[in-house]
Chain A
């Protein structure tokens, strides 16, 4: 194994299951077990589980916790009730994205849990510390103490309730959570995910996560790797940091303005977003469909009919659920309107297509 790669608490179980393992975000992670297509369909049609223990958990507490989170976070946590969750981003002053994350309003007074991307844990933690001067907050990077499993799919509620006995899960709404216990240790249960389906994310100690994984596996829940995690999130129109979001792409360009509350007091990067909303942006993230079975991949050029390059593909697949060749692409804004004809260069050939909605798949979240 390569040096410095970390293992999640479930590493040995993945290897025992014969998973194809690969480095991702500094961890050795399972890419697939039975196969990407089979795992993808298990989540769409039944239920699957993902080891997402690599994700980062940072707790922020203290009398200034609310104003500090609101200072570094694009969404608005003012008045957010305990047990509620918001999606949003942390931005650089340039408007580029430090990371996208979930903010959980914890049940303890003045406490928030920020769940961040594995690849960005160290950078995010440093960013929070660097921007905390003047705020009375304690910033606790607890990532090493928590394992996490995502249970996703239309049968996820039944699975979490019947197999794990977490009866309270049934009454959770989308983007809500509660504190619970697993054999005396703390467990957080949230109705969230990254697949476009109903689902739950369970946070607990590494030992507890191991037990929960084994129980779910014994009950027939399909283990699912990062391969189908990407095909699922892509179909649901969800961005991945590093592909659709980065230090060089703002939320306005990525089409995520609804998660940026420009009517709240200054947060880092707000000025740039306000200007971009008023003046427009040079580039925009769009969906493109080509009418062929060829597959647009990240990095392929997007062109006009005369061969002028106007953008680049960020993620693309032959969609498993929709059987369409679709992609996200960053294109010059004048070519971002729905229906605009665009061409994608795939190796030696050029394939005609058009701009389509980014949410390719009709999501099935709990109302």
Chain B
């Protein structure tokens, strides 16, 4: 059974969002990292890149497969977690502690389309 954190929002493509004012802190869920297996590479966007809800902004790579990352919100990338460039395995170690990007949201109303922890537990249970 994978871990789910209360108080975060979730996409059906297994990203989590922590809302900090107008900024969305985005990572992947424990379920996603467990499905991937050993993550060997995180393909990150660059600061100032524009992202759109539901569009891919990067990818996780395991030995065997790559899995695209989809942005749960639209906006501008204001930070990327550069620690993942050298240590992609951090996502396996703690998927919720190791965020991937931070996005300055252009439309906070998009958050309403995301799931809460209970709803997300429903699709991964």
Chain A residues in the interface with B (C-beta under 8 A):
31-32, 35-37, 40, 227, 230-231, 293-295, 297, 317-318, 320, 346-347, 349
Q: Contact: A295 with B66, CB < 8 Å?
A: yes
- Assembled-state Cα–Cα distance A74/B74 (Å): 58
- Assembled-state Cα–Cα distance A213/B64 (Å): 26
CB-CB under 8 A from A231, the residues of chain B are 63
Q: Contact: B66 with A36, CB < 8 Å?
A: no
Closest-by-CB residue of A relative to B68 is A347
* Contact code string B35-58 (vs A, CB < 8 Å = 1, else 0): 001101101000000000000100
**What is the interface size of chain B, counting residues whose CB is below 8 A from a CB of the partner?**
14
Closest Cβ of chain A to B83, distance in Å, is 14
Q: Contact: A36 with B41, CB < 8 Å?
A: no
For chain B, residues 47 to 95, give those with C-beta under 8 angstroms from any C-beta of chain A. Answer: 56, 59, 61-64, 66, 68, 85
CB-CB under 8 A from A227, the residues of chain B are 63-64
CB-CB under 8 A from B64, the residues of chain A are 31, 36, 227, 230
Closest-by-CB residue of A relative to B85 is A293
Chain B residues in the interface with A (C-beta under 8 A):
37-38, 40-41, 43, 56, 59, 61-64, 66, 68, 85
CB-CB under 8 A from A40, the residues of chain B are 63
Q: Contact: B61 with A295, CB < 8 Å?
A: yes
Known: A295-B66, A347-B43, A347-B56. A36 touches B38 (CB 8 A): yes
CB-CB under 8 A from B38, the residues of chain A are 35-37
Closest Cβ of chain B to A201, distance in Å, is 24
Beyond A227-B64, A347-B43, A347-B59, 18 additional pairs, beta carbon < 8 A: A36-B62, A36-B63, A36-B64, A37-B63, A40-B63, A230-B64, A231-B63, A293-B40, A293-B85, A294-B41, A294-B61, A297-B66, A317-B63, A318-B40, A318-B41, A318-B61, A320-B63, A346-B43
CB-CB under 8 A from A230, the residues of chain B are 64
CB-CB under 8 A from A36, the residues of chain B are 37-38, 62-64
- Assembled-state Cα–Cα distance A293/B89 (Å): 13
CB-CB under 8 A from B63, the residues of chain A are 36-37, 40, 227, 231, 317-318, 320
CB-CB under 8 A from B56, the residues of chain A are 347
Closest-by-CB residue of B relative to A36 is B63
CB-CB under 8 A from B43, the residues of chain A are 294, 346-347, 349
- Assembled-state Cα–Cα distance A320/B56 (Å): 27
- Assembled-state Cα–Cα distance A304/B43 (Å): 22
CB-CB under 8 A from A295, the residues of chain B are 40-41, 61, 66
Q: Contact: A32 with B37, CB < 8 Å?
A: yes
- Assembled-state Cα–Cα distance A231/B40 (Å): 14
15 contacts between A and B (CB under 8 A): A36-B38, A36-B62, A36-B63, A36-B64, A37-B38, A40-B63, A227-B64, A231-B63, A293-B41, A293-B85, A295-B40, A295-B61, A318-B40, A318-B63, A347-B56
Closest Cβ of chain B to A48, distance in Å, is 15
CB-CB under 8 A from A320, the residues of chain B are 63
CB-CB under 8 A from A293, the residues of chain B are 40-41, 85
- Assembled-state Cα–Cα distance A318/B85 (Å): 14
